[in-house]
Structure 1
Amino acid sequence: MFYIDTADKKEIEKYNKLHFLKGVTTNPTILSKTELDHDYVTHSKSVIQENENLTYYLQLTGESSKEMLEHYAFIKDNLAEEIKNVGIKVPMTLAGFETVRYIKKDNPDQKIMGTSMYSIDQGILSAVAGCDAIVLYINRMEMNNIDSLFVVKSIRKYVDDHNLDMEIVGASYKNTGQVVNSLVAGAHSATIAPDIFEKMIQKDLSVKALKDFNEDAKKYK
């Protein structure tokens, strides 16, 4: 089961019909590029109500833990009826680690996904802090000469060795090979942009084969 990395309602509906999505991941950059229903809260409500099988992740903003917690309180107040389907993404800076601890103390059942992750130590500390999932930026690591697959393998080994209940999610992909390689390396799942999903599903050779089969089928109908 995968996540789709978009806030576009049509894209979410399109791929949710294929029954391999478990959630939607958004961030401020994604939301800023999306045609929203009035505002992001109204838009989020609509997506959740139309896709009740999915967890919809919103990212906290702010420089300090205080600001992040204020944003979390705003989300809880304005998405009160939908909160069971809302996950919270937290950038794992010092402020982020503090925020995770406060949220988990207040509401142990709140799903938290640590994001902006680039290293093994971040992954280990996030597991200890109480994140339910972490997002590893695969392409960004590779662009900065970081061995992304070694990072995935190492965090996965730590999680497995210590029997920790934390999901490793690959993200920031630029091609399908990066998705596959991260999953083979040990990522439990991946959050994938619609254009990458399309490339994973619609293979030119498969499309051509189907066309050929259909043409041949006309000969005996």
Structure 2
Amino acid sequence: MKSLPLPYPPRRAFIGTTDRAPKGGMAENLGKSEVAEELTDSLKRAVAAIEEQGVPYLLGGGLGCWARGGPPSSNDIDLMVKPEDAERAQEALADAGMRPESPPEQWLLKAFDGEILVDLIFEPSGMQIDDEVIARGDELSVMAMNIRVMNLNDILITKLMALDEHSVDYGDLILITRSLREQIDWARIREETASSPFAVAFFALADGLGICPGAQQPAPVES
């Protein structure tokens, strides 16, 4: 499929390689000069601290998509944990030298490793993290570490359900779904996000761009 032009300059790349990233993903082509060492080190410290305490977790968000071969991301670190494990995970990060913070939002806790933010999310939009969600994740090699990564469809469901009238940005979703389209369970995501008009609008856009399998390819623009 012919690459679509980006509507805006690409976001800053940050990460190196993962030996299990699917071929064709942007991550496998990144060089070491593009690694943001602080973010990489913070992810390693956070995962090590949580694993040491035996807290089940999943790497989600933009980094979770990148780990599966998606576009590079400079987002914060999103770690998914069960509600009953959130405080224990935050304490583990505090013991590792990170600064804990309890925001007013009732669906996550936070910790700062210097300037790097680690979100401990237990109730993202569209789902609650439970044993079933944890079990759907996969262990992947990420930056020379074996890290539990959230199921791609679950990540996309939470991203789509988070869209609202105050936060409508389809740019990242287009980049992610275009690069990982063959890994996506389109029928499941459509069904589980059907209650959101913003998700419905996204699928109309993705269909029009020819991203969804079986969608009509966009007509060429006449010059």
Same fold (TM over 0.5): no
Higher helix share: 1
TM-score with structure 1 setting the length: 0.31
TM-score with structure 2 setting the length: 0.31
